[in-house]
Structure 1
Protein backbone atom coordinates (compact mmCIF):
# COMPACT_ATOMS: atom_id res chain seq x y z
CA UNK A 1 0.00 0.00 0.00
CA UNK A 2 2.86 2.40 0.83
CA UNK A 3 4.39 1.68 -2.61
CA UNK A 4 1.25 2.95 -4.30
CA UNK A 5 1.20 6.12 -2.19
CA UNK A 6 4.91 6.72 -2.86
CA UNK A 7 4.40 6.13 -6.59
CA UNK A 8 1.46 8.53 -6.74
CA UNK A 9 3.32 11.24 -4.82
CA UNK A 10 6.43 10.90 -7.00
CA UNK A 11 4.43 10.89 -10.24
CA UNK A 12 2.34 13.89 -9.20
CA UNK A 13 5.49 15.71 -8.11
CA UNK A 14 7.19 14.95 -11.42
CA UNK A 15 4.08 16.06 -13.33
CA UNK A 16 4.04 19.41 -11.54
CA UNK A 17 7.74 19.90 -12.25
CA UNK A 18 7.16 19.13 -15.93
CA UNK A 19 4.32 21.68 -15.92
CA UNK A 20 6.70 24.23 -14.42
CA UNK A 21 9.26 23.52 -17.16
CA UNK A 22 6.59 23.82 -19.86
CA UNK A 23 5.48 27.09 -18.28
CA UNK A 24 9.01 28.48 -18.53
CA UNK A 25 9.16 27.55 -22.20
CA UNK A 26 5.66 28.56 -23.26
CA UNK A 27 4.58 31.55 -21.19
CA UNK A 28 5.20 34.98 -22.73
CA UNK A 29 6.88 37.14 -20.08
CA UNK A 30 8.82 37.12 -16.82
CA UNK A 31 5.92 37.49 -14.35
CA UNK A 32 3.91 34.64 -15.84
CA UNK A 33 6.96 32.39 -16.15
CA UNK A 34 7.88 33.19 -12.57
CA UNK A 35 4.34 32.34 -11.46
CA UNK A 36 4.50 28.93 -13.17
CA UNK A 37 7.87 28.01 -11.73
CA UNK A 38 7.03 29.20 -8.24
CA UNK A 39 3.69 27.47 -7.90
CA UNK A 40 4.14 24.29 -9.92
CA UNK A 41 7.82 23.78 -9.14
CA UNK A 42 7.37 24.25 -5.41
CA UNK A 43 4.34 21.94 -5.30
CA UNK A 44 6.21 19.33 -7.33
CA UNK A 45 9.19 19.45 -4.99
CA UNK A 46 6.91 19.17 -1.96
CA UNK A 47 5.12 16.14 -3.41
CA UNK A 48 8.47 14.52 -4.15
CA UNK A 49 9.62 15.13 -0.59
CA UNK A 50 6.38 13.55 0.65
CA UNK A 51 7.11 10.48 -1.46
CA UNK A 52 10.65 10.30 -0.10
CA UNK A 53 9.42 10.55 3.50
CA UNK A 54 6.89 7.75 3.00
CA UNK A 55 9.34 5.54 1.10
CA UNK A 56 12.03 5.54 3.75
CA UNK A 57 9.63 5.53 6.70
CA UNK A 58 12.33 6.77 9.03
CA UNK A 59 11.66 9.63 11.43
CA UNK A 60 14.94 11.40 10.60
CA UNK A 61 14.25 11.27 6.86
CA UNK A 62 10.67 12.45 7.46
CA UNK A 63 11.94 15.31 9.63
CA UNK A 64 14.37 16.37 6.92
CA UNK A 65 11.64 16.13 4.27
CA UNK A 66 9.34 18.30 6.40
CA UNK A 67 12.17 20.80 6.94
CA UNK A 68 12.75 20.95 3.16
CA UNK A 69 9.03 21.49 2.51
CA UNK A 70 8.92 24.31 5.09
CA UNK A 71 12.03 25.84 3.54
CA UNK A 72 10.43 25.73 0.08
CA UNK A 73 7.19 27.23 1.41
CA UNK A 74 9.11 30.11 2.98
CA UNK A 75 11.63 30.84 0.24
CA UNK A 76 9.77 30.25 -3.05
CA UNK A 77 7.40 33.25 -2.76
CA UNK A 78 10.18 35.53 -1.54
CA UNK A 79 12.51 34.48 -4.35
CA UNK A 80 9.75 34.97 -6.92
CA UNK A 81 9.00 38.43 -5.57
CA UNK A 82 12.67 39.47 -5.68
CA UNK A 83 13.16 38.10 -9.21
CA UNK A 84 9.98 39.77 -10.45
CA UNK A 85 10.89 43.08 -8.86
CA UNK A 86 14.41 42.97 -10.27
CA UNK A 87 13.06 42.11 -13.70
CA UNK A 88 10.57 44.97 -13.59
CA UNK A 89 13.13 47.50 -12.38
CA UNK A 90 15.66 46.52 -15.04
CA UNK A 91 13.08 47.13 -17.74
CA UNK A 92 12.08 43.62 -18.77
CA UNK A 93 9.23 44.03 -21.24
CA UNK A 94 5.79 42.80 -20.28
CA UNK A 95 3.67 40.71 -22.60
CA UNK A 96 1.70 42.70 -25.20
CA UNK A 97 -1.51 41.20 -23.79
CA UNK A 98 -0.91 42.58 -20.31
CA UNK A 99 -4.04 44.50 -19.39
CA UNK A 100 -2.75 46.73 -16.60
CA UNK A 101 0.64 47.60 -15.19
CA UNK A 102 -0.12 48.68 -11.64
CA UNK A 103 3.46 49.67 -10.86
CA UNK A 104 3.88 52.02 -13.83
CA UNK A 105 2.46 55.09 -12.11
CA UNK A 106 4.12 54.28 -8.78
CA UNK A 107 7.67 53.53 -9.93
CA UNK A 108 10.24 56.29 -10.32
CA UNK A 109 12.98 55.04 -12.68
CA UNK A 110 15.34 57.81 -11.60
CA UNK A 111 15.44 56.87 -7.91
CA UNK A 112 14.27 53.24 -8.29
CA UNK A 113 11.71 53.81 -5.57
CA UNK A 114 8.08 52.81 -5.36
CA UNK A 115 5.44 55.02 -3.84
CA UNK A 116 2.75 53.31 -1.84
CA UNK A 117 -0.07 55.27 -3.43
CA UNK A 118 -1.20 56.41 0.01
CA UNK A 119 0.64 59.71 -0.12
CA UNK A 120 -2.35 61.40 -1.79
CA UNK A 121 -4.76 60.07 0.84
CA UNK A 122 -2.86 61.25 3.92
CA UNK A 123 -3.55 64.82 5.04
CA UNK A 124 -0.50 67.01 5.13
CA UNK A 125 0.94 67.31 8.59
CA UNK A 126 2.44 70.63 9.64
CA UNK A 127 6.20 70.45 9.74
CA UNK A 128 6.54 72.75 12.72
CA UNK A 129 4.32 74.64 15.11
CA UNK A 130 4.83 78.12 16.43
CA UNK A 131 5.01 78.77 20.14
CA UNK A 132 1.79 79.84 21.74
CA UNK A 133 -0.50 78.53 19.02
CA UNK A 134 -2.63 75.46 19.14
CA UNK A 135 -4.17 73.39 16.39
CA UNK A 136 -7.64 73.36 17.97
Structure 2
Protein backbone atom coordinates (compact mmCIF):
# COMPACT_ATOMS: atom_id res chain seq x y z
CA UNK A 1 0.00 0.00 0.00
CA UNK A 2 2.87 2.37 0.73
CA UNK A 3 4.24 1.87 -2.77
CA UNK A 4 0.86 2.69 -4.31
CA UNK A 5 0.60 5.85 -2.19
CA UNK A 6 4.13 6.88 -3.16
CA UNK A 7 3.30 6.27 -6.81
CA UNK A 8 0.15 8.43 -6.60
CA UNK A 9 2.11 11.24 -4.93
CA UNK A 10 4.88 10.97 -7.52
CA UNK A 11 2.40 11.10 -10.43
CA UNK A 12 0.64 14.13 -8.91
CA UNK A 13 3.95 15.93 -8.33
CA UNK A 14 5.24 15.23 -11.82
CA UNK A 15 1.94 16.29 -13.41
CA UNK A 16 1.92 19.46 -11.29
CA UNK A 17 5.50 20.18 -12.26
CA UNK A 18 4.70 19.72 -15.95
CA UNK A 19 1.78 22.15 -15.71
CA UNK A 20 3.93 24.67 -13.83
CA UNK A 21 6.65 24.30 -16.48
CA UNK A 22 4.10 24.84 -19.25
CA UNK A 23 2.88 27.96 -17.47
CA UNK A 24 6.44 29.28 -17.26
CA UNK A 25 7.10 28.51 -20.92
CA UNK A 26 3.81 30.19 -21.85
CA UNK A 27 4.78 33.33 -19.96
CA UNK A 28 8.06 33.53 -21.86
CA UNK A 29 6.90 32.47 -25.34
CA UNK A 30 3.37 33.82 -25.85
CA UNK A 31 3.00 37.08 -27.78
CA UNK A 32 0.95 39.44 -25.62
CA UNK A 33 -0.03 40.14 -22.04
CA UNK A 34 -3.45 38.51 -22.43
CA UNK A 35 -2.23 35.13 -23.61
CA UNK A 36 0.61 35.18 -21.07
CA UNK A 37 -1.88 35.89 -18.32
CA UNK A 38 -4.07 33.06 -19.56
CA UNK A 39 -1.17 30.61 -19.44
CA UNK A 40 -0.15 31.72 -15.99
CA UNK A 41 -3.64 31.58 -14.55
CA UNK A 42 -4.81 28.30 -16.06
CA UNK A 43 -1.70 26.11 -16.14
CA UNK A 44 -0.29 27.67 -12.98
CA UNK A 45 -3.49 26.96 -11.08
CA UNK A 46 -3.65 23.35 -12.21
CA UNK A 47 0.05 22.82 -11.42
CA UNK A 48 -0.21 24.37 -7.97
CA UNK A 49 -3.39 22.46 -7.25
CA UNK A 50 -1.89 19.11 -8.20
CA UNK A 51 1.17 19.77 -6.05
CA UNK A 52 -1.00 20.77 -3.09
CA UNK A 53 -3.07 17.60 -3.44
CA UNK A 54 0.18 15.59 -3.60
CA UNK A 55 1.37 17.23 -0.38
CA UNK A 56 -1.96 16.48 1.30
CA UNK A 57 -1.92 12.83 0.19
CA UNK A 58 1.72 12.44 1.23
CA UNK A 59 1.06 13.76 4.73
CA UNK A 60 -1.30 10.91 5.50
CA UNK A 61 -3.36 13.13 7.80
CA UNK A 62 -6.93 14.10 7.03
CA UNK A 63 -6.51 17.60 8.49
CA UNK A 64 -3.54 18.36 6.24
CA UNK A 65 -5.31 16.91 3.21
CA UNK A 66 -8.40 19.02 4.00
CA UNK A 67 -6.25 22.17 4.16
CA UNK A 68 -4.57 21.27 0.87
CA UNK A 69 -7.96 20.64 -0.73
CA UNK A 70 -9.21 23.99 0.62
CA UNK A 71 -6.17 25.63 -0.98
CA UNK A 72 -7.00 24.02 -4.32
CA UNK A 73 -10.60 25.22 -4.09
CA UNK A 74 -9.32 28.70 -3.23
CA UNK A 75 -7.03 28.68 -6.28
CA UNK A 76 -9.83 27.52 -8.56
CA UNK A 77 -12.21 30.19 -7.27
CA UNK A 78 -9.81 33.13 -7.27
CA UNK A 79 -7.56 32.58 -10.31
CA UNK A 80 -10.22 33.26 -12.99
CA UNK A 81 -11.39 36.40 -11.20
CA UNK A 82 -7.84 37.69 -10.80
CA UNK A 83 -7.03 36.90 -14.44
CA UNK A 84 -10.13 38.74 -15.59
CA UNK A 85 -9.24 41.81 -13.53
CA UNK A 86 -5.65 41.82 -14.77
CA UNK A 87 -6.84 41.54 -18.39
CA UNK A 88 -9.33 44.35 -17.92
CA UNK A 89 -6.72 46.58 -16.28
CA UNK A 90 -4.24 45.83 -19.07
CA UNK A 91 -6.85 46.67 -21.70
CA UNK A 92 -7.75 49.94 -19.97
CA UNK A 93 -4.05 50.79 -19.70
CA UNK A 94 -3.74 50.45 -23.48
CA UNK A 95 -1.97 47.12 -23.96
CA UNK A 96 -2.74 45.92 -27.47
CA UNK A 97 -3.56 42.43 -28.61
CA UNK A 98 -1.06 40.40 -30.59
CA UNK A 99 -0.95 40.97 -34.36
CA UNK A 100 -2.71 37.69 -35.10
CA UNK A 101 -5.71 38.49 -32.91
CA UNK A 102 -9.01 38.27 -34.71
CA UNK A 103 -11.19 40.62 -32.65
CA UNK A 104 -11.15 42.84 -29.58
CA UNK A 105 -14.56 42.48 -27.93
CA UNK A 106 -13.79 45.03 -25.22
CA UNK A 107 -12.83 47.69 -27.77
CA UNK A 108 -15.93 46.92 -29.82
CA UNK A 109 -18.09 47.20 -26.70
CA UNK A 110 -16.56 50.57 -25.78
CA UNK A 111 -17.42 51.99 -29.24
CA UNK A 112 -21.14 51.26 -28.82
* TM superposition score category, shorter chain reference: over 0.9
Specify the SS of the correspondent of 1:99.
coil
RMSD: 1.1
Task: Give the deviation of 1:91 after TM superposition.
Answer: 0.1
* Equivalent runs, 1:81-120 vs 2, <5 Å: 81-107=84-110
* Equivalent runs, 1:1-136 vs 2, <5 Å: 1-107=4-110
> Structure 1, unaligned stretches of length 5 or more?
109-114, 116-136
Q: Which has the higher helix share?
A: 2
Q: TM-score, normalised by structure 1?
A: 0.77
Aligned residues: 109
Q: Which 4+ residue blocks in structure 1 deviate beyond 6 angstroms?
A: none
Greater RCO, 1 or 2 (C-alpha within 8 Å, sep 6+): 2
Q: TM-score, normalised by structure 2?
A: 0.93
